[in-house]
Amino acid sequence: MPHCDGEMLKYGATLVGTGGRQKMMPAGVKCEELEDFSASSFRNSVPKQVQIMLQSKGKGAEDTYNKFVAQVLTKQTWKKNFKWREVQGVVEHFRPSFRNVGMNVFLCNVRLPGGPNGGGGFYYWFEYVDLDVCSDYSPDEIYDPSKDACCTCAVM
């Protein structure tokens, strides 16, 4: 399970212990994890650093974010795993609204191979960008559908 506090994302293995990875967000970028089968944590809590960014951008940003979250949550199967290509469609749909409030949004994903001790998996998160701080930012891990879990993996 990944862990994200808004400024740093840890994922894989025992997070950063054995085989784990971490990503520090650059200035003006905040992150929010998104997990299959755990939509309630996405729906019910906002990382503090994301909340601070939204508040700094004003009510329009908070309203856009709330509508965005509501729409993302409609892109789940009956098993409560996300339909990632459809989530990416929501990101693309809301990008102009985020830009109107001085922000950008990206869905990111990585796929880590497992080893003899496990540690592999599929990890997804959003990155929110303050365009006043870094207008040309694009994450290295921008959503790539070829890194999605296959249907067998998503059911397990």
41 Rama sector, left if φ>0, alpha if ψ -120 to 50, beta otherwise: alpha
Q: Report pLDDT digits (tens) over 40-69.
A: 666 777 888 999 999 999 999 999 999 999
H/E stretch holding 46 reads: none
> What's the order of all strands across the beta sheet hosting 21-24?
3-4, 8-11, 21-24
Q: Is there a contact between 98 and 129 (Cβ–Cβ < 8 Å)?
A: no
The H or E element spanning position 51 is helix 48-57
pLDDT grade, residue 37 (50/70/90)?
Answer: low
Of 61, 77, 137, 149, nearest in space to 106 by CA = 137
pLDDT tens profile 15-35: 445 566 788 889 999 988 887
* Dist. CA 23–CA 7, nearest whole Å: 9
Provide the whole-model pTM.
Answer: 0.85
pLDDT of residue 82: 87
- Cα dihedral 97→103→107→110 (10° resolution): 170
C-alpha 91/C-alpha 85 separation (Å) is: 10
